[in-house]
Structure 1
Amino acid sequence: MSKQLTMSDIARMAGVSIATVSRVLSNHPMVREETRNRVLSLVKEHRYEPSYVARNLSTRRTHTIGVVVDDISNPFFMELAKGVESVLQKNGYTMLLTSSGWDTAKEADLIRTLLRNRVDGVLLTPVHPESESTDVMRRNGVPFVVMNCHSDNESVSYVSTDNVEGGRLAAELMLRTNLTRFLCLSGVPHQSTSERAEGFMHEIRSNGRGDDLSVYDEVRTFDDGYNIVPSLIARNRLDVVRTGIFTSNDFVAMGILEGLIAHGIPVPSQVSVIGYDDIAFAERYRIPLTTVIQAKHSMGQLAADELLELIQDRNHTPARLLLKPRLIVRDSCIAAHTHEPRSAVP
């Protein structure tokens, strides 16, 4: 294998200084056209790839942004990442996308790896709002923005959804449809899912229906949703009691729907199901899913915009944005088959 050329080699072959080659590669105007063409011809001929790390030592910029999400397999986070990428590409930045798997230790290790690779900033959906990860970034002076979570620390920029309101919207719809029982299935122990459950439960209880409410924790995935259905039927008599089920995400809701169908429970005439996130195929599921919509793409875009502001101006006032959720009514909820509107906008 031939030795990879260095900038010094290109300079020697072109008969110019290393500084001149550097100026040519950075498109500096103070280079004679003849010299520029000679250097670029050699670069092309020998397929020379400049060291971007070395080039950026003077500017301290790599034009690379680290993005850490909780679950890369979840369509919510992929749509969020697409929003981030759309802004970064437009501004000449590259995105390094990683996933913590809801593991705080892994999350902190990923942040350290990104910092070793000299990213210019980090976008993070943290497992916890105030975690070791955010402490590491603060100590190293690295600009960062939190997504899908909000912080009480006024120095932290975040973009998230008003999840309490999202849960309230789901409960409000169920209360209008004359259901007898209400089930709330919470997911991972995370600020966003806890607030969804909080909003749902508060609305049910404040309307005097607390005795008709049951809560189930740690129901996280499609399989969790499917597998819990026999227990829900036995404990809550879903076959005879008209019930509304609210889940912390659309995957769980879809698992619930499959379980209900497998056990012959009519949806939505007997059981109504509401999810959260409005992932891409929620509308196209075999029973189209009623769900709370998060502006996933916009959340990613706004967070990326904010991070670029922080990179350019370290004195920038942190943005603290809570986006409004919307409820879309589809066939998994009895409201879609009554006089209720197809969508409710707060």
Structure 2
Amino acid sequence: MPHTNPLPAIGITALGAYAPDKVVTNADFEARLDTNDEWIVSHTGIRERRFVVDGEFSSHLGVRAVEAMLARFPDALEGVDTVVCATATPDALFPATAALIAGQVGLRGAAAFDLSAACSGFVYGCSVAHALVMSGAAKKVLMIGADTLSRIVDQDDRGTAILFGDGAGAVVIGEVPAGYGFESFVLGADSAGADSLYIRCLADRLPSGLNMGQFTGMNGREVFKFAVRVMVESGREAMQKAGLGAQDVDWIIPHQANIRIIQPACERFGIPMDKAVVNLDRYGNTSAASVPLALDEACRDGRIQDGQQVLLVAFGGGLSWAASTLKWYDHAAHLARQAAETEVTA
């Protein structure tokens, strides 16, 4: 019989994140909008968020996230030949924000392109990166989620201004030891919900005929109903594809949109809230940066350990949804163990 090679295990080998220095608290909105800290916290879970300043754009945040990754994983970019940036707020329609980032982090000449799936973008991007490596089209992929939503949200609109912040997260996706890495992906979109969450670019109206204004448009009630449903449905499907049940999940990393979405979703999953990584109180909804910001934080503070089962779930404009399961590969822990074993045998 012909010899067949087993499919490689593909996962995250390094990660980093960055949020701008400018902190915008709920008190800043109290001064000019008909709202207050108590209402914002009780209805969203958000206490503060980060905003870019003049001259700062998504590419700047992406570069900072990569630099944060390199500070912990100095060799992370060795062998990277493709850069993908998930963003709803690119610096320009072209050149790609991914290309702008690549040129500033020493990856000039790498394939580079942007991906638009709004808040689902990071998980979408991980799926694309996984497929590129699995097919042999790429050796290693630098995957970035970066958004500066403060630039496209009407800061005088109480319904949206309080929700969004800016940030970026970066990961390198490549081969990992057998038994680790991504196990399943579920992606989807339904343009029937486009009127509920959108950002204008070139067209002044959607195919439905809805006239779009200058800023982000959102129907909060419809997005809420959609979000809870698709997060649960896609997450369950991803777990089923991987042969997992809710009891097998060590950590869930949900899109950080609203605590009132995360709590019922976890309840329907049967996953306790103490297994959910939540940092939206400090960052708000950072769109494509949301999941990697939370993932990076939970890895840095030691919550996510080598070999643990992680579930990523997100939703966003499109309306889109995405979920993935992976067994976490702690590259730093493996390197430390190898160093200790080498020292013992020396």
Q: Could you tell me the TM-score, scaled by structure 2's length?
A: 0.26
Structure with max Cα Rg: 1
**TM-score between the two structures when normalised by the length of structure 1:** 0.26
**Larger proportion of strand:** 2
Higher relative contact order (CA 8 A, sep 6+): 2
